[in-house]
Chain A
Amino acid sequence: MPENALFRKIGASLLLAVLLLSLLPAVSFAAAKDDPYAAMPSFGILTDTGLEWRNADTGFRVVILDEIDLLTPLEERQLLGDMQPLTEYGNAAFWSTREYSSDEIEQARLKRRDLFELESGTILVVNMEIRRVTIQSYGDMYDVLTVQRANSITNNVRNSLTRGEYYTAAQKAFQQMNSLLRGNRIAQPMKHLSNACVALMVGLMLTLARVFRQSSTFRKADETQVIGATALAFAAAGVVSRGQRREYDPPSSDSGSSCSSCGGSSCSSCGGGGSSSF
């Protein structure tokens, strides 16, 4: 049928559209220039909790708390260097942990407050217990590293984490944060792919709904308005019971429903973050 051939073409066009939309971010990634990221000397000091460095000009700190040794000592020092540019804007921390938490963003928020109190700052948490990576920011840094952008960054690094390339993932995450803080853009391939997929589905459904509406212009009219009638009155009207109809229908056992309030991932008073499983 010609319609079938047409629809095969349409199907191919849609697939092509999905592919093109998913390629867009890759192109933008190639176009987006990372700032020249000169590795800064990493003169960190080893404290009881981890490796730390303070920017003498701004007073902001970089902290690495690798509690479960995801990074080698050399990688920790390299990462410290990678994180140092962020201190122009606020504090930055990397924390690896196995502490269970049902709310990884709240967990990240509490840790950030422990470390930096109410100063501008950001924290990257790799929680191996729940296998989630979270970025949580506050203050000036939150103005740039919003929940959406934090989600994009965690989406971008989760494949590296899955492969066990923890240093690469952390380095990439802090590089992208720095890039955003400098006013540049970062590639968001997964965001665009998700959006393209959802947008195509919504587009098809809304359009089909419009087609249904157009096709249902055949509406039968109410004829009562043109029916002529003599005065209608009912004499000796009443209601008589005819009994009851009983139908066997045992109630089905309902599964209990539960409702829990979910914690917000961000608010103006406590900053916000985004996370991804890996």
Chain B
Amino acid sequence: MIACPGCGANLLFDIASQQMKCSYCESSYDPYQFDSMQKDASREKVYDAWIYSCPSCGARLMTTDETDAEAFCPYCGGASILFDRLRKVKYPSWIIPFQVDKDCCRREYSKAARRAFFTPARYKKAEMIDGFRAIYMPFWSYAVEQKGRAKVDVESKTSRDGDYLITDQYTVEGDVDVSYDGWTHDASKAFDDEISECLAPFNTEGRKPFTPGYLSGFYVDVADERANKYADDAKRYFENLTAEKLLESDEVNRAAKENEAHTIGITGVSIPTKVTKTEQVLYPVWFMSYREGDRITYATVNGQTGKVVADFPISPWRFLAAALLTALAVFAVLSLFFTLKPESTLLLTSLLLIIGVLMCRKQSKQLSERYNDEETARRRAAYVNSQKIAIVLTVVALIVSGVVLLTHPVYNAVFYGVCIAEAIILFVLIRQAFLLQMQLATRKPPQFNKKGGEDHA
């Protein structure tokens, strides 16, 4: 706790003025004014932090003021977080102080929630939006140096020679001498990697040297990932970045023209890359969780830019209402402007069924790209299996449609019977896709101190 020099009350960091402000006498102070560590460069800089842990999920949070502890866990919605210990915590190198205050955070979230048409109204209510907590998230920031001969293996477009496909292969080379910094990865096990990647970018121009004053009135998540854990990811990122720049460079383009090489794909990168510095930085995040039964949803707002990344659950009733309204509109348009013959109807429903199958397959593929955790893989596998039956039924329906169209059976009922069967198969497909989407829009409550736990942490 930092006491007000004027009245002794607690000073809190005020986002609007970017100063320490006394809530009692309203005096303002520079956050660095109270940092005795800044003056003594010889000692390792540490500050006192009260560590709280959630007995339910194992998440850990810190505050610089022991009275700051809230009664519930922001990660799992658990009823309490318990004081664990007082600890000396090493200063992070930098901090980006909160620029977005709670009102602005609420506004940005409400705006995003309004666009989420299928999300139940309770997720948009004011009392829920009040649940946002300001948390500084720890990140590891990496700087790398690349010096030496960069080699990038590339392929040109494929041509045909009789029964063979020929692909020209090249190596693009160049001497490089460059330093990068600013690639970050969140350092908290509790903070979902995907959310942190989507919340980015944080503008590093707004970063400030750390002082504990910035933490007054806020939570800090504990950095429990090792500093070198993401070093290889950082190297890979910068290698690819340099490789792309090398391919775009004028020298390489000139040389490629001379060799008539039309490079289209990178197959290998070899660039001497060394991580020169790893620093801990704190980034501001507004965080909210909402637990319903055995599922939980997270909503986050970038505390610097106001960017919203949130789970928006989907209501089946809203889905049904939207589907029926859309169907009514389409029905009205069709009734006004078209009279479909049975053959055309059958062709159209068959086409729609094919498009529906392709849509569901694309969704399944996108999910596998987005989530690579075990739980989602298991769910997706179950979904793909259940889809197989629907796809077999689709193929049967399409074959029957083909037979019906070729043989022109005598009764309308045959045409419309197949059309209705196709509509039912499409409904089954869409039901499966929707259920999967509905489950993935929420998460299992996290278990940071046990194996298993949340779906896509």
Residues of chain A whose beta carbon lies under 8 Å from any beta carbon of chain B? 3-4, 6-7, 10-11, 13-15, 17-18, 21, 131, 147-149, 151-152, 154-155, 158-159, 162, 188, 190-212, 214-232, 234-251, 274-278
Contact = CB atoms under 8 A, between A and B. Distances in A.
A206 B410 CA distance: 33
Interface of B: 112, 115-119, 150, 153, 155, 160-161, 163-176, 178-183, 194-195, 197-198, 200-204, 237, 241-242, 245-246, 249, 251-252, 255-256, 258-259, 261, 263, 307-310, 312, 314, 316, 319-320, 322-331, 334-335, 337-345, 348-349, 352-353, 355-356, 359, 363, 366, 370, 408, 410-412, 416, 419-420, 422-424, 426-427, 430-431, 433-435, 437-438, 440-441
A244 to B, nearest CB: 5
B201 A18 contact: no
A197 B416 contact: yes
A148 B245 CA distance: 60
B198 A219 contact: yes
12 contacts: A18-B423, A151-B339, A200-B327, A203-B328, A210-B118, A212-B437, A218-B309, A234-B174, A237-B173, A238-B252, A241-B168, A247-B164
Contact of B245 (A221, A232, A247): A232
Given A210-B117, A215-B440, A223-B182, 17 more contacts: A7-B434, A15-B424, A198-B340, A200-B323, A202-B330, A205-B356, A209-B359, A216-B366, A224-B241, A229-B178, A237-B255, A239-B256, A241-B168, A243-B169, A244-B168, A245-B167, A278-B410
A228 B181 contact: yes
Contacts of A247: 164-165, 167
B404 to A, nearest CB: 11
A223 B201 contact: yes
Given A13-B320, A194-B345, A277-B408, A245 B339 contact: no
A228 B178 contact: no
Contacts of B410: 162, 278
Contacts of B173: 236-240
Given A162-B411, A210-B117, A229 B255 contact: no
A198 B352 contact: yes
A244 B164 CA distance: 11
B412 A158 contact: yes
Interface SS of chain B = helix
A173 B385 CA distance: 50
B183 A227 contact: yes
Given A3-B438, A197-B349, A223-B200, A237 B312 contact: no
B207 to A, nearest CB: 10
A13 B231 CA distance: 55
Contacts, number: 297
A55 to B, nearest CB: 30
Contact of B431 (A7, A212, A251): A7
Contacts of B195: 218
Contact of B171 (A212, A227, A239): A239
Contacts of A277: 343, 408
A220 B237 CA distance: 14
Contacts of B327: 17, 196, 199-200, 202-204
Return the 3 tightest CB-CB contacts between A and B, nearest first.
A203-B327, A234-B174, A237-B174
Nearest to B241: A224
Contact of B326 (A203, A228, A235): A203
A10 B338 CA distance: 28
Contacts of B161: 246
B349 to A, nearest CB: 6
Contact of A211 (B167, B420, B427, B437): B437
A215 B180 CA distance: 34
Nearest to A11: B427
